[in-house]
Chain A
Amino acid sequence: MEFTIDKELFLKSLQKIQGIVEKRTSMPILSNVLLEATGSSLHVTATDLEVGMKSTYPAEVTTPGKITVGAKKLYEIVKELPNQAIVFSTKDNDWVEIKCGKVKFNIVGLSPDEFPYFPEIKEENLFEIESALLKGMIEKTSYAICTDETKYNLNGIFAKVEVNENGENAFKMVATDGHRLSIATGALKGTAGPELLKGVILPKKGVYEMKKITDEDSGTLMFGFMDNSAVIKRGDSYMVMRLVDGEFPDYNRVIPAANDRIVTVDKENFTHSVRRMAILSSEKFKGIMLEISSGGVKISSSNPELGDAMEDIDVAYDGEPISVRFNARYLLDVLAVAETESVEMKFRDELSPSIIVPEGSDSFLAVIMPMRL
């Protein structure tokens, strides 16, 4: 195999797959990137068996062929090469030669035959989705993804399309770690396939890679499902992620319906108050207290090892007084992704889940379980 490619383009292609290759793995081939030269293009593929990505770039192919090379080392090499065309060729015994101007590298690769199978994507399985919509919904939910690997069914985002009484599609993404839960809702044009109507769990790592794709530009992406995987296509790049095989908990059951003690606070001011109070939080004492009465909200924190702090926030409230304690981190995570100027907090009592929603918007809803007083 031999091909010639622009340095910047090659670098970009390798950068994109750095998040996917496994750093520590029992299968060395998964640390490698598969390079395939055909016709006038170079296909760059990486996978960790859970999330895979395949992109196509223009290249001048002298001899078609394929090889795998350590993805991290190759990236480091290309990054430091002079800004000229790179000639990449394979030698005997899976050795690779990289020439760029007066620089020459010989590095050892692995046979492409060992590289895991990457599925052929059928375009007809995909539907269009707005990149910005996907990006916003991932932002509003991904913070709540569970990091405890034993709860594998919570290690991702649950995506589902609910059809309302008017026959409109509501696209929902839900994430939870068992202490808090976040739901983002968006409108999905067109018809949803059976997978989304039933609901699927997108793996955490795939979600973060998908987020990177949506960060790159706006416009539309192609999204769909095949062989227990979700597929995203943008331009000449595909990403495939194996769906988490598990049952996502019934999130509708934990969204409280009877939270009738409602306080509306200015998001900026409230965020600063919580941040100030959180200064006294520690691993051992991380709760901050909200005491809500007709006089306003009194927010305080107390840490026997450091001291205490309190602050009054003026808000209108005419319901029953209530005191409730939260992990400050959980409040800040929600406030960081709420897009409106004010947020509504809805409580029932100090032991029941509380709701935070952006004022006057139904695109986002967060449920936070309090701490014991």
Chain B
Amino acid sequence: MKPRTILHIDMDAFFASVEQEANADLRGKPIAVTGAGHRTVVTTSSYEARACGVKTGMAVWEAKRCCPQLIVVTGNNRKYTETSRRIMAMMQDYTPEVEVFSIDEAFMDVTHSLSIFGTGENIARQIKARIREDLGITCSVGIAPNKLLAKLASDMHKPDGLTVIVPADVPRVMERLPIGALCGIGKKMRRHLNLMGIYTCGELGRCDETRLTRKFGIIGTHLKQMGLGRDDSPVIPCGEEDEVKSVSHSMTLERDIEERDDILRFLLQLSDMVGSRARRYNVAGKTVGLYVRYADFFTSFGKQTTLPGYISLSSDIYRAALSILDGVELEQPVRLLGVRLTNLKHQSEQLQLFEDERKRTAAARAVDDLNQRFGSLAVTFGTLLPAKKTGGSHVISPAWRPAGIRNVEVK
């Protein structure tokens, strides 16, 4: 394989930076961006706050304990997705091979653009300058021969960094690097590897492959390659990803709920959100899953049911989710609810022969069209009306993408 030049662009404290840029009073101060509602968690904190120990995922009270002068800002997801879209669009000016990895991260394969722009550093500097001038925020860029190393590099000098790992440097960089620093090796995998006496990437790369495959199966080969700093995975531009395997929505409720009617109302709302997104992208699913997290935050359950046929209408999804709910006894009040549709297939545009079926699909289509134009919940179930401003802390999902089925309209 010809050597590639891959850039990983990672926005620095993205949500917090956007807020600080928008409001001069926040600049230079420890701030934390949270979801809506009073019981949400920190989604991003500024570098000033991080210095005090504030971390993503902390409850607000916890963060305030670390950093009493912390300023808490409720996130404005629409602003972030809009900013993200503009950044991703800038990258498109240098190569069409841009893979949006999350709302604030992207990979670019610039191998074929070097004849125009010279070097990867040159492209990185231009992008950094444009993001700073146009949007007033900073990012860190890693440049390397593959995605694994590029991601590693962007994290080396944060914020506002630019780090290049050239092929000759790879063995030296990997030698002392703790395995946990690699994207793809999480807490559990790290523990497994540590038990095998492997702590650094150097050790992982030297490890006997059969030893790894015996323990981890096919992943073993991949692990050794990671230890050696090798990664063949391509940069996959938006729209060329594999078929999406599930459509789901979940929400943390304003307060813990116990009343069956309240639970059902949220269940219906989530079913409708899942259904309308599935229909918009012409998929129908056979398996419906329900996820419930209880008030204590730590206990939860997830169950799913597979139906005889494929469904995408909100009412059908609701009915399936309800049957799961009816099959369990809730132990505590409910804190978070999630509904998921999986086992997807592409739904053809086959018209229905019988009028009542046709009316059902036509009605769903009309509602979807209206909601598309006037915003979600413009037309909805009567049951959802009394609580139109429903629960949910509106934390943006890491799977968010600027386009396609993963694109969720944010509030």
Report which A residues bind B (CB closer than 8 A).
148-151, 176, 178-181, 249, 253-254, 283-284, 286-287, 327, 351, 353, 367, 369-372
Q: Which residues of A contact B351 (CB under 8 A)?
A: 179, 351, 369-372
Asked whether any CB of chain A lies closer than 8 Å to the CB of B309, the reply is: yes
Asked whether any CB of chain A lies closer than 8 Å to the CB of B346, the reply is: yes
Question: What is the 8 Å Cβ interface bit string for chain B, positions 247-268, against chain A (1 contact, 0 not)?
Answer: 0000000000000000000000
Contact at B308–A148, with CB atoms within 8 Å? yes
Task: Report the Cα distance A351→B348, complex, angstroms.
Answer: 15
Determine chain B's interface SS by DSSP, over half rule: mixed
The residue on B at minimum CB distance from A353 is B353
Interface hub of B307, B309, B350 (most chain A Cβ within 10 A): B350
- Report if A178-B357 is in contact (Cβ < 8 Å); known contacts: A148-B308, A149-B308, A150-B308: yes
Q: Which residues of A contact B242 (CB under 8 A)?
A: none
Q: Add 8 more A-B contacts to A369-B351, A371-B348, A372-B349 (CB < 8 A).
A: A148-B308, A150-B309, A178-B357, A284-B346, A287-B349, A327-B348, A369-B350, A372-B350
Q: Which residues of B contact A351 (CB under 8 A)?
A: 351
A and B contact pairs by CB, cutoff 8 A, 29 listed:
A148-B308, A148-B309, A149-B309, A150-B307, A150-B309, A176-B353, A178-B352, A178-B353, A179-B350, A179-B352, A179-B353, A180-B353, A181-B353, A253-B355, A254-B353, A254-B354, A254-B355, A283-B345, A284-B346, A287-B348, A287-B349, A327-B348, A327-B350, A351-B351, A367-B353, A369-B353, A370-B351, A372-B349, A372-B350
Task: Report the Cα distance A151→B311, complex, angstroms.
Answer: 13
Q: Which residues of B contact A353 (CB under 8 A)?
A: 353
- Report if A283-B353 is in contact (Cβ < 8 Å); known contacts: A148-B309, A150-B308: no
The residue on A at minimum CB distance from B356 is A249
Task: Report the Cα distance A119→B346, complex, angstroms.
Answer: 46
The residue on A at minimum CB distance from B308 is A149
Q: Which residues of B contact A249 (CB under 8 A)?
A: 354
Contact at B352–A369, with CB atoms within 8 Å? yes
Report which B residues bind A (CB closer than 8 A).
307-309, 345-346, 348-355, 357
The residue on B at minimum CB distance from A373 is B349
Smallest beta-carbon distance B346→chain A, Å:
4
Smallest beta-carbon distance B317→chain A, Å:
14
Q: Which residues of A contact B352 (CB under 8 A)?
A: 178-179, 369
Smallest beta-carbon distance B352→chain A, Å:
6
Task: Report the Cα distance A287→B309, complex, angstroms.
Answer: 21
Q: Which residues of B contact A254 (CB under 8 A)?
A: 353-355
Q: Which residues of A contact B353 (CB under 8 A)?
A: 176, 178-181, 254, 353, 367, 369
Contact at A371–B354, with CB atoms within 8 Å? no
Task: Report the Cα distance A149→B309, complex, angstroms.
Answer: 7
Interface hub of B346, B348, B354 (most chain A Cβ within 10 A): B354
Smallest beta-carbon distance A324→chain B, Å:
11
Contact at B349–A178, with CB atoms within 8 Å? no
Q: Which residues of A contact B345 (CB under 8 A)?
A: 283
The residue on B at minimum CB distance from A249 is B354
Smallest beta-carbon distance A319→chain B, Å:
22
Q: Which residues of A contact B307 (CB under 8 A)?
A: 150
Contact at B309–A371, with CB atoms within 8 Å? no
Task: Report the Cα distance A253→B353, complex, angstroms.
Answer: 10
Smallest beta-carbon distance A179→chain B, Å:
5
Smallest beta-carbon distance A167→chain B, Å:
32
